[in-house]
Amino acid sequence: MSVARLKPVPASEPSGGGFYAAAEKIYPREISGRFARLRQAAVVVLLGLFYGVAWLDWHGHQAVLFDLPARKFHLFGLTLWPQDFLYLALLLIIAALSLFFFTALAGRLWCGYACPQTVWTELFVWIEQWTEGTRSRRMKLDRGPWTAEKLLRKTLKQTLWVALAAWTGFTFVGYFTPIRMLGAGVVSLSLGPWSTFWIALYGLATYGNAGFLREQVCKYMCPYARFQSAMFDKDTLIISYDEARGEPRGPRRRGAAPRPLGLGDCIDCTLCVQVCPTGIDIRKGLQYECIACGACIDACDDVMEKMGSPRGLIRYTTEHAMHGRATHLVRPRMLVYAALLLVASGALSWSLVTRTPLILDVIRDRNALYREVRGDKIENAYALKVINLDDRAHSYRLGVSGMDGLELSAPTELISVPPGSVSNIPARLDAPAARAGGVHRIALTLAATDASGISVRENTRFIGPSP
């Protein structure tokens, strides 16, 4: 006789005592299945990018480097300056709108697969499982006395955790200080005090959040967990237990038909609770602690298959589908989020494509409105600030327009500016006195002499004697 009641392991539910109840340590049970594989793939891809991209080079400089000491951001071929703050603002708006869009569409995808908290916790749990074993072994180890084996396993775990956290802190700071220089500094023990401080702070945060706090970050510290439900409606994809199908729950023999026994499909094995990284019971309904990782779906599908019942007692579904109604993918909320997202992305792409890596600031001479020169000409003086935002040197020719007889008397030669540099240049314009009376709106143009086609136009005024 094979009884399907699985190992009677305590379900370790949080005691639900509210704000001040002692948090019970959660021992998430190891899990395999569709959603576990998806999350593992996300961990490999996202952390691979994080740890790897810092070492990429692009045309002789680090490909992604937020060079704070030099106040320049390198993003592959693009160099952004503090003047380009607009792009960063747009990027943040796009990120927020994407979060809204995907939350309304498919619930907490972010929490389950992409949030750094989830991704690093997953990595730390892998280390924990590798050093301390399965869930039941970990629980036994923690309850038991301090034997040599316990000491060894715990030491190994902590060593790996600290090493990983330190490497994470180092990589993080490597996005702000050239990482090879940083590495050389670490190796030769000549790291500056601030780099050391930031590596330690970020390493400590990683260790604390992923090793120690884990689900408590989601439950007590994450603002998104609290307001994400505002983006939810009855057509949002959620993870849900099919109560109508599962209840009344209870153990039964493998292969026994539940209905004649007066039972639903849930065999009350509590595996869904044991695998939950936040320690909730999904059968109690949707809770804000649920980070939608899908571990309970994997666990339950496995059990249902063993029992010979169809999968999906716990599944991704919508509230409408659960009540036998149609789910609408397209709804006003989605259209609004999508439209806003398109506008913001369009604005970012357009401004990046049309971005000119050259800035010309024109300031009129503050000392004199105008000067009479050579008897028959009126001269105005300007201070030019030429900022070459490109990562190549350029030579520019200055031109003037907007007024008859207006001529450039200085500078007559080309203006050369090294990459990423500023040149301050005095400029003088003159015009025949007969035509110069009053205030004229004129324009200065600066055009690169090479094939890059870079040019800018800046409006200013030319002032002559009152007519």
Partner 1 sequence: MSASPEPERRARGLDIALVLWPSFLAACAASLLFFAAVDPAMLRDGGPRIFAGLDREAGYALGFLFFWGIGALASALSIYLVRTERGSRLPPGAS
Interacting residues toward partner 1 by CB under 8 A: 17, 19-23, 68-69, 71, 82, 85, 88, 192, 194-195, 197-198, 220-221, 223
Q: Which is nearer to partner 1, 76 or 220 (CB)?
A: 220
Q: Which is nearer to partner 1, 25 or 137 (CB)?
A: 25
What number of H helices and E strands is found in the chain? 15, 16
> DSSP letter at 220?
I
Q: Which is nearer to partner 1, 19 or 146 (CB)?
A: 19
CB of 22 to partner 1, least distance (A): 5
Q: Which of 442, 436, 443, 427 has its CA nearest to residue 465? A: 436
CB of 359 to partner 1, least distance (A): 16
CB of 92 to partner 1, least distance (A): 9
What CA–CA distances, in Å, run from 93 to 72, 86, 117, 289, 346? 21, 11, 21, 26, 12
Q: Which is nearer to partner 1, 126 or 198 (CB)?
A: 198
CB of 134 to partner 1, least distance (A): 28
Scan for tokens 């994080």, then name that residue: 50
For 368-397, give one letter per residue: b (16+ CB within 10 A) or e.
Answer: eebeeeeeebbbbbbebebbbbbbeebebb
> DSSP letter at 424?
E
CB atoms < 10 A from the CB of 275, how many? Answer: 23
Greatest extent of the chain over all pairs of C-alpha atoms, in Å: 117
Q: Which is nearer to partner 1, 88 or 434 (CB)?
A: 88
Q: Which of 162, 204, 206 has its CA nearest to residue 50? A: 206
Q: Which is nearer to partner 1, 246 or 279 (CB)?
A: 279
Exposure of 203 in the CB half-sphere (CA atoms within 13 A): 19
Q: Which is nearer to partner 1, 80 or 267 (CB)?
A: 80
Q: Which is nearer to partner 1, 58 or 176 (CB)?
A: 176
CB of 351 to partner 1, least distance (A): 16
**Angle at which helices 295-307 and 34-53 pack, to 10 degrees?**
150
> What is the end-to-end Cα distance of the chain in Å, rounded?
112
Could you give the CA distance from residue 390 to residue 358 in angstroms, rounded to a whole number? 7
CB of 88 to partner 1, least distance (A): 7
The DSSP-derived string for 370-405 is: -EEETTTEEEEEEEEEEEE-SSS-EEEEEEEESSTT
CB of 110 to partner 1, least distance (A): 16
CB of 392 to partner 1, least distance (A): 24
